[in-house]
Structure 1
């Protein structure tokens, strides 16, 4: 007979998450959980006493575990991580960053990967910033897409330098723009010594941790200088609602072939059988994009927040 979940343990884990990850005071935790301050203190103390609070929080709230199982069943995922809600009103960077850091740390410490591929973006950068010092001298990281803007400036949300510093590992960047100015320029860039070798290395990555983008006017692709607002408007006009690894998807998860994607300098979406693509994304502005990416069937895993998980499981409006 299955053991029934302990509601108090669930509450103590949530209290610990709000206090140690969310940065809330014990009084604020009490208000958030609608319990007396004395009980909030006792819940946090219980989490500490039971070994839940270490460098990271190892326990899992029961409702988040339920959401993870439901997402796996609905979208055919093999792994899912749902971070408890910290009350962040926009992009939940604290919650997603901690959950992403925990997932990446476990992947590194498992020793199961020789090459891990990373995309870029605010959420993935938050995860790498929260990653504790984790020695991985035999592991190689590789960027899954071009790291330069159209004007060949550095991408402000690139993660490769920080991951190399944190893990003492080799981190290979793709020294090309995300999108070439033309199809001909793309061919020239791919012919440069070493560039083809790095693209081949991305195919060796047995784990690919990626972000998910939107096609809204304020999308990160535009604000970071990767593409122009007019180019993104053209993608919207063709039915695009989501972006992953430089490729665009319609609401049904179909990949769009456009003039822009023909100039993409990124790893292929058609990953080898042994490769795992895991997306880390969340927030109210990402629900539609995430649903499209999940519908494509190209993800093996998802790291998201509690509010977004519930929205993804709700019937589309």
Structure 2
């Protein structure tokens, strides 16, 4: 859809349309647009000027991305999001990992540029791994990354969708892993693990990270928590019985966005979900029409401040017909 979406021209074009849309149609000042898109004022001005010079700004904003921009505005209004980007459809079968990876990498690069040394918290999952995979190689800087939850399986094997080692390689920056399982055998075992000095320090860094990038999970038979070996089928059955529909960082929500008690409570090694104060950012990279109900459940919780999502899933959540 549109003029492509690569790391250079296509990404600049999409950013220019978003900036122009927010400025001319959304009524935001260029300074407000820069803050929303995590860009410098100079780059924002240049992108808007380029959109005008290219003829995209008339009585409306031209371009195939227009429907995505409209859905971004609708999702932001419905779920109180500070950041929302809808990745244009690339006609991928199944989970749109390339579209989400490209959009997620673009946003992640802007976050890194403005992090001021971090730390940036990272969850795990296929979509987040796809975003890290699309991130261009970068020279090392002051950015630090930290895992937001235990990165090992129940059998102390590596999580196949953990992103910490890959992000360290891509950015040449420190990446602090949480070297414990996602779920301890008991509440007592969890307390013992967290009492270890190195683990406790990483956990505290994760909790305090002002920017947190995460994936969202389902509770169906394809749930990544089970497929990756983080929990077992009997635990998943208890979660489903509790009424859970969607998951973020090991916290589960029903269709109305209410957090539900599950058999994992007190045993998961993950950060707590703080109330959004405007200072902390919790941005999800998530998609796939089969996950629409799960994503909507987490959105209803109002815990997220931002969302990177694909076009088809956005349409499903908003109840719009397919393009």
For the superposition of Structure 1 and Structure 2, which TM-score range results when normalised by the shorter chain? 0.7 to 0.9
The residue that corresponds to 2:4 in the other structure is: 17
Of 255, 258, 262, 1:254 maps to 258
Partner Cα distance (1:57, 1:88) in 2: 19
Structure 1, 271-280 or 289-298: larger mean CA deviation: 271-280
1:235-314 paired onto structure 2 within 5 Å:
235-270=239-274, 273=277, 274-314=279-319
Of 185, 192, 199, 2:196 maps to 192
Q: Runs ≥4 in structure 1, deviation > 6 angstroms?
A: none
**Does the 8 A contact of 1:141 with 1:171 survive in 2?**
yes
Shift of 1:87: 1.1
* RMSD between superposed Cα atoms in Å: 1.9
Shift of 1:111: 3.7
1:246-305 Cα shifts (integer Å, max 9, x gaps): 111111111112221220100111157311000110001110011110100100000000
1:75 aligns with 2:79: yes
SS at match of 1:65: helix
Alpha carbons of structure 1 residues 67 and 55: separation in structure 2 relative to 1, 3 Å: closer
Shift of 1:17: 1.5
SS at match of 1:117: strand
1:131 aligns with 2:135: yes
The residue that corresponds to 1:230 in the other structure is: 234
The number of residues matched between the two structures is: 272
1:212-268 Cα shifts (integer Å, max 9, x gaps): 000001211111100101110111111011111011111111111222122010011
Scaled by the length of structure 1, what TM-score is found?
0.81
Scaled by the length of structure 2, what TM-score is found?
0.80
Partner Cα distance (1:211, 1:252) in 2: 19
SS at match of 1:299: coil
1:203 aligns with 2:207: yes
Alpha carbons of structure 1 residues 147 and 304: separation in structure 2 relative to 1, 3 Å: same
SS at match of 2:175: strand
In the alignment, structure 1 segments of 5+ residues that lack a partner are 1-13, 22-50
SS at match of 1:256: coil
Partner Cα distance (1:268, 1:150) in 2: 21
SS at match of 1:248: strand
**Does the 8 A contact of 1:108 with 1:136 survive in 2?**
no
Partner Cα distance (1:254, 1:15) in 2: 38
**Does the 8 A contact of 1:52 with 1:58 survive in 2?**
no
**Does the 8 A contact of 1:211 with 1:281 survive in 2?**
yes
